[in-house]
């Protein structure tokens, strides 16, 4: 992560300073890099946090959808008079939960 941000900073500095004066570019980059890197690193971490939160939200949504689907399947199986044990095995829902659905 740090290396990626560091590389991006170097590329930006190189673009601004140009390619002609390698020694001058190196010196300027040494002076500017710590300031830019810290700010970019903070921004990078912020973006990572947002991405991580989205990923967790998506995962939770998928789990919720799977649970709702299992409950719907259990309801349909109850209508067809399958045994609670069979429904539990098929849907991976606990027997107690299926009994609540049955009521």
The DSSP code sequence of 37-82 is HHHHHHHHHHHHHHHHHHHHHHHHHHHHHHHHHHHHHHHHHHHTT-
pLDDT at 103: 78
Contact criterion met (CB below 8 Å) for 52 and 62 = no
What pLDDT score does 41 carry?
A: 73
Instruction: Give the pLDDT means over successive 10-residue stretches in the chain (103 positions).
Output: 58 58 63 69 84 93 96 96 95 95 85
pLDDT at 89: 96
Give the number of domains in the chain. Answer: 1
Q: What is the largest CA-CA distance in the chain?
A: 82
Q: Is 18 left (phi over 0), alpha (psi -120 to 50) or beta?
A: left
What range defines the domain where residue 42 resides? 2-102
pTM of the model: 0.55
């Amino acid at each position: 992560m740090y290396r990626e941000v560091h590389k991006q900073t170097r590329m930006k500095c190189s673009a601004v300073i140009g390619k002609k004066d390698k020694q001058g570019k190196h010196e300027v980059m040494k002076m500017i890099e710590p300031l830019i890197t810290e700010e970019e690193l903070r921004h990078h971490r912020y973006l990572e946090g947002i991405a991580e939160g989205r990923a967790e939200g998506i995962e939770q949504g998928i789990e919720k959808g799977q649970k709702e689907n299992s409950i719907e399947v259990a309801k349909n199986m109850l209508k067809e008079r399958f045994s609670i044990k069979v429904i539990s095995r098929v849907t991976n829902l606990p027997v107690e939960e299926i009994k609540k659905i049955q009521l």
